[in-house]
Amino acid sequence: MSQIELKKLRKVFGENIEAVKDLDLVIEEGEFVVLVGPSGCGKTTTLRMIAGFEEPTSGEVVIDGEMVNDRDPKDRNLGMVFQSHALFPHKTVYQNIEFGPRMKKIPLEDRKKRVEEVAEMVHITPLLNKLPSQCSGGEAQRAALARTLITNPGSFLLDEPLSSLDAKLRREMRAEIDRLHQELKKTFVYVTHDQEEAMTLADRIVVMRAGEIEQEGIPMEIYNDPSSYFVADFFGSPSMNLLDGNIRKGSSGESFVFEGYGLSLDLPRLDNLVEGEHCVGIRPESISVGDSDNGLELSVSLVEPMGKDTLLYFSHSAERPLIAVVEGSTKIQSGDLVVVQFPKDSIYVFDSDGIRVK
Amino acid sequence: MAYYLKRWRFPFFRYLVLGIWTLIAGFPIFWIAATSFKPAHQWTSWPVVYVSNEPTMENYREVWGIREKTVEEASQTYEKGKDARPESVSMNKAWKAFGNSLLIALIATSLTVAFGTVIAYGVSRFQILSEIRMFQLLMLRMIPPIVVAAPLTLYYTTLNLMDSVTGLVLIYFITTLPYAVWMTKSFIDEVPREIEQAAELLGATRWRTIVEVVFPLIRSGIVATFMFILILTWSEYLMSFILSKVDVVTLPVQLSKYEGSTEGRMYGTQSALAVGITLPLMLIGIFIRKHLVRGFTFGMVKR
């Protein structure tokens, strides 16, 4: 088990392409941390700096209290799983898994035993004599996991390991990785651009944007209490409804009212709220549909049954349609006018810089 | 109707054009092979003899000495006059040239490919040469060899490299190195870096990684490069002609030596030698085809 600490970590590519900007992060022993963000946000570069494949321009990588900037990747007590699985194509799955212990000159007998153990652990025993090209994507990724597991590293680095798999396999492998983490109780650092993976796997999510940490916290905190427009938009599927508009004082003079796109919404009491250009957000599942006669009447443009839930799309003049989720199936059809309520405690307000107003 | 017409028309014309081209390209090869079996009076006879009606192995015997020839026999043929061959054309010379060519080509090619691969690895992984330098390397090949050949004789005379195996190996090594670097680099570039990094994280040293992971993946590429350069070196004429004459004669140079004092060019014997030069190349060609199929990443990286 290892604790990983990043101190003012910075990486500049070429002359002035700043991939990672003064990143400070402490990853505790046994923690499952997910670095998440859109492509180009510096998450993979950060992971590669932890692994030692990328040299930081400045700052320190500290593992278990020791600065490891000058240490070779193999001396950092890490295991890594790559997006492309990176199995050796000319070696069988068995030889692939055996590679690590063989390099460490572990006797043949022990090696064989260990290979069988880890193969059992990730359920690939029948594949041991196959070549990677004969394995499916999921099988290859399991083999890659086994190859890393066998070296028993203090922490695991996973660089978008599931992004090349199809949706069903991805869910399966996600559960597998979760199980491994619980069994091994090791430190996991996981990079992904998929918010769903981040939400389901992480003990703690670190949201990155343009080389900086935008927000970090436990998954529900990120979901319920986004610190910015970016985070609010990034997490949740379907994503949060975000509307640009104007905020002004209500008639009573105390509360605030949002106006835009023909909507007029009562806002919660927020200490720092002022009048002016703002953006408000509400999660699709927070919008209540047809519960009372008291609310806004909107016309449904599209009904999308998802099985467990149904998505309702409302047409209005925003760039993105307004979406609401209703449980189960519904009799509402496209073209219907329905009464919609926006509970004011579920409304998030962001200022013109995208910072959440609290 | 038009659809069906189109369907057979295109392949038909394609094969027609390719067929004609094959005839044009293949004819000299056929001509050499045919001539090598012709008796002396049919070499340049008119009307043209395409395939001899009295095929003979005499040319091959003459050049390659398939049959052991005694001194008396040799002198007899010489005295007969009709099929007279000058003294300079002895079967030993062809074999000697064959030996020289083989020795020089193998040593030079091995050196080139070994150095080329090492340099290419450096370029591919550590950018030891910038892109411009890589092009400059290739541009070396664009200088007409004759331009450097003359000054080279001066260097070679001073360095005592004229007419030596070492001298030819050296010049072939230098002139083919750019090809080797470029070719092997393209193969190394195709090995995903992540594979090497995975090996590194698993505790392999750089050297083990190269031996266990990189080399097996580029082996086919190295074989292909080796064959390509072997062919270049094997058939090189100009440098060999200028930098060696008496002691170290290579096959292409030997080819130009079949000229009798009275009969002019000895086309039959020349052809027999030419067949001997070409045949190994053809075998290599068949061999290289298998390796040029770049199946060596085995569908490895799934993006």
Chain A residues within 8 angstroms (CB to CB) of chain B: 51, 53, 72-74, 78-80, 82-90, 99-100, 103-104, 131-133, 137, 140, 144, 147, 151, 164
The set of long-range contacts for B101-106, using a CB threshold of 8 Å and a minimum separation of 24, is B101/B234, B101/B250, B101/B251, B101/B252, B101/B277, B103/B165, B104/B165, B104/B168, B104/B169, B104/B172, B104/B233, B104/B248, B104/B250, B105/B172, B105/B230, B105/B233, B105/B234, B106/B230
- Containing A312, the helix (H) or strand (E) segment is strand A309-314
Per-residue confidence (pLDDT) for residue B84, from 0 to 100 = 46
User: Is 70 exceeded by the pLDDT of residue B111?
Assistant: yes
Longest CA span, chain A: 82
Euclidean distance between CA atoms B200 and B24, whole angstroms: 54
CA distance A330 to A311: 10
Half-sphere exposure of residue B52, counting CA atoms within 13 Å on the CB side?
Answer: 20
Of A104, A101, A151, A145, the closest CA to residue A121 belongs to A145
Rounded CA-CA distance B270/B40 in Å is 11
Query: 């052809």: which residue's tokens?
Result: B271
Average pLDDT over residues A308-334: 81
Smallest CA–CA separation between A101 and chain B, in Å? Answer: 8
The Cα A232–Cα A349 span in angstroms is 10
* Averaged pLDDT of chain A: 88
**How remote is the C-alpha of A38 from its chain's centroid?**
9
The DSSP bridge pattern shows strands A155-159 and A187-192 to be: parallel
The residue among B191, B194, B202 with the most chain A CBs within 10 A of its CB, best to mutate, is B202
What is the pLDDT at residue B3?
63
- Checking if the pLDDT of B76 tops 50, the result is yes
Q: pLDDT tens for residues B282-303? A: 887 777 676 655 533 333 333 3
Sheet holding A4-13, edge to edge: A17-27, A4-13, A58-63, A66-67
- Whether B201 and A78 lie within 8 Å, measured CB to CB: yes
The pLDDT, as a whole number, for residue A278 is 85
Give the integer Cα–Cα distance in Å for A342 and A296. Answer: 9
- By Cβ distance, the residue of A78, A84, A147 closest to B302 is A84
Amino acid identity for residue B213 in this structure: V
Beta bridge partners of A188: A32, A156
Residue with tokens 């992060």: A25
Q: Give residue-wise pLDDT tens across range B222-268.
A: 888 888 899 889 989 889 988 887 888 888 888 888 776 666 778 88
Summarised one tens digit per residue, pLDDT across range A212-235 is 999 999 999 999 999 999 999 999
Instruction: Indicate the burial class of B237 (C-beta count within 10 angstroms; 0-12, 13-18, 19 or more).
Output: middle
Q: What is the DSSP code (8-state) at residue B211?
A: I
Half-sphere exposure of A208 (CA within 13 A, CB side): 30
Confidence class of residue A236 from pLDDT cuts 50, 70 and 90? confident
Residue in A50, A71, A80, A88 to test binding to B, most B beta-carbons within 10 Å: A88
Is the pLDDT reported for residue A316 higher than 70? no
- Chain B positions touching A118 (Cβ under 8 A) are none
- Classify A59 as helix, strand or coil: strand
Q: Which residues pair with A313 in a beta bridge?
A: A302, A323
Q: Residue B105 — pLDDT band, cuts 50, 70, 90?
A: very high
Work out the pLDDT band at B67, boundaries 50, 70, 90.
very low
Name which of A78, A86, A133 is nearest B192 (Cβ-Cβ): A86
Closest listed residue to residue B233, CA positions, set B177, B164, B286: B177
For residues A320 and A252, what is the distance between their CA atoms, to the nearest angstrom?
32
A7 or B220: whose pLDDT is higher? A7
B293 touches A: beta carbon within 8 Å: no
How far apart are alpha carbons A115 and A95 in whole angstroms?
Answer: 9
Comparing CB atoms, the residue among A80, A86, A100 nearest residue B203 is A100
Are A84 and B303 an interchain contact pair (Cβ–Cβ within 8 Å)?
Answer: yes
How much is the pTM? 0.78
**Three-class secondary structure of residue A238 per DSSP:** coil
Reduced to 3 states (helix: H, G, I; strand: E, B; else coil), residue B213 is helix
Q: Are the beta carbons of B300 and A132 separated by less than 8 Å?
A: yes
Question: What residue in B sits closest to A146 (Cα-Cα)?
Answer: B202
Long-range CB pairs of A68-75 (<8 Å, 24+ gap) are: A72/B200, A73/B197, A73/B200, A73/B201, A74/B200, A74/B201, A74/B202, A74/B203, A74/B204
- Give A160: exposed, middle or buried? Use CB within 10 Å, 0-12, 13-18, 19+: buried
Residue B301's pLDDT is what? 37
The residue that leads in pLDDT, B265 or B149, is: B149
d(C-alpha A96, C-alpha A140), whole Å: 11
Question: In b/e form, how buried is each residue of A205-215, taking b as 16+ CB within 10 angstroms?
Answer: bbbbbebebbb
d(CA B50, CA B31) in angstroms, rounded, equals 8
Quick check: A146 pLDDT over 90? Answer: yes
List B residues 185-224 in contact with A (Cβ-Cβ < 8 A). 192, 194-195, 197-204, 208, 212-213, 216-217
Q: Taking a C-beta distance cutoff of 8 angstroms, is the pair B42, B49 a contact?
A: yes
| A136: nearest CA partner in chain B | B302
Give the nearest partner residue to B203 out of A80, A103, A144, using CB atoms: A103
Quote the CA–CA distance of B24 and B37 in Å, as a whole number: 21
